[in-house]
């Protein structure tokens, strides 16, 4: 619940003319950048802010692609395991389910959050903010939702998960026939799409849209 913006606990905002380095707190006077330029802290080298071309449209398109790939990666099987006439398929969710069934519920939660929940929430939260912004509207609770994305970011471990699957794949390929499934390729593409979304995103541009109401 957000408190009243006019209450005394809300300090008066300083103009956007100043920016502080998030790693060493040095204060800078903000200068307009050309597209594609980056401003870095002279003292510690941290990225201060950037200007990216068509940030909202490009990150929106890429986030939509990521959503489609996410669905494919979770609907289809990752690996097919064939051994002495028996076959077993595994998907991201079946790994979580099996851990839970074997009594390792805490481990099941960690794998579920890192491989399914956090990436999905991140994509959905991005779409929730970007889609209305593209049409010139402002979604409800935009600031709150956009804030969650940064919190979710480190917990979405899609790329690490893919590497874990590949290790399992190579480990088993000695003793049985393993066939990669559709989901494995979708997963690889999902990682590329999510990384491209992050690269296209310019948070400053989105926060500045919030400014207009102030």
Partner 1 sequence: MNPALPVTAARAALARCHACHLLSRMKPLAPGSHAHCPRCGAALHLRKPDSLARAWALTLAAYILYIPANTLPIMTVVSMGHGEPDTILSGVRVLIAGGLWPLALLVFFASVVVPVLKLLALTCLLISVQRKSRWRPRDRTVLYRITEVVGRWSMIDVFMISILVALVKLGAIATIEPGAGALAFAAVVVVTMFAAMSFDPRLIWDALENPDER
Query: Per CB under 8 A, which of residues 21..40 are in contact with partner 1?
Result: 22-31, 39-40
Under the binding rule (CB under 8 A), the answer on residue 179 touching partner 1 is no
Compute CA 47 distance to the chain's CA centroid, rounded to the nearest angstrom: 19
- Phi-psi region for residue 54, left (φ > 0), alpha (ψ -120 to 50) or beta? left
Shortest separation between residue 148's beta carbon and partner 1, angstroms: 9
199 binds partner 1 (CB under 8 A): no
Shortest distance (Å) from residue 164 CB to partner 1: 3
Three-class SS of residue 178?
Answer: strand
Distance CA 56, CA 58 (A): 6
Biggest CA–CA distance in the chain, Å, is: 72
Q: Among 52, 55, 58, 95, which residue interacts with partner 1 (rule: CB under 8 A)?
A: 95
Among 180, 198, 204, 205, binds partner 1 (CB under 8 A): 204
- Under the criterion CB under 8 A, does residue 111 sit at the interface with partner 1? yes
**In the complex, least distance from residue 35 CB atom to partner 1, rounded to whole angstroms:** 17
User: Is residue 121 within the footprint of partner 1 (CB under 8 A)?
Assistant: no
Q: Does 164 contact partner 1 by CB under 8 A?
A: yes
The b-or-e profile of 162-176 (16+ CB within 10 A means b, else e) is beebeebbeeeeeee
Residue window 41-70: x/- pattern of binding to partner 1, with contact defined by CB under 8 A: xxxxxx-x----------------------
- Name the CA radius of gyration of the chain, rounded: 22
| 104 sits near partner 1 (criterion: CB under 8 A) | yes
Residue 106 vs residues 64, 113, 156: alpha-carbon distances, Å = 31, 11, 17
Q: Which among 11-19, 54-62, 131-139, 188-196 is the span making contact with partner 1, rule CB under 8 A? A: 11-19
């Amino acid at each position: 619940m957000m408190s009243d913006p006019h209450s005394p606990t809300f300090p008066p905002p300083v103009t956007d003319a100043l920016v502080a380095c998030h790693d060493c707190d040095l204060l800078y006077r903000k200068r307009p950048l050309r597209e594609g330029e980056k401003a870095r802290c002279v003292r510690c080298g941290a990225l201060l802010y950037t200007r990216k071309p068509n940030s909202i449209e490009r990150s929106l398109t890429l986030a939509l692609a990521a959503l489609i790939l996410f669905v494919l990666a979770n609907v289809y099987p990752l690996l097919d395991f064939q051994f002495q006439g028996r076959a077993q398929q595994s998907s991201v969710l079946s790994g979580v389910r099996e851990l839970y069934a074997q009594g390792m519920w805490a481990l099941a939660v960690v794998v579920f959050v890192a491989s399914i929940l956090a990436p999905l929430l991140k994509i959905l939260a991005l779409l929730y903010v970007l889609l209305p912004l593209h049409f010139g509207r402002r979604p409800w609770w935009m600031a709150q939702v956009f804030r969650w994305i940064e919190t979710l970011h480190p917990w979405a471990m899609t790329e690490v998960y893919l590497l874990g699957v590949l290790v399992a794949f190579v480990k088993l390929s000695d003793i049985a026939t393993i066939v990669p499934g559709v989901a494995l390729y979708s997963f690889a593409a999902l990682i590329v799409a999510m990384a491209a979304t992050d690269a296209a995103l310019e948070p400053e541009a989105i926060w500045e849209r919030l400014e207009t109401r102030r």
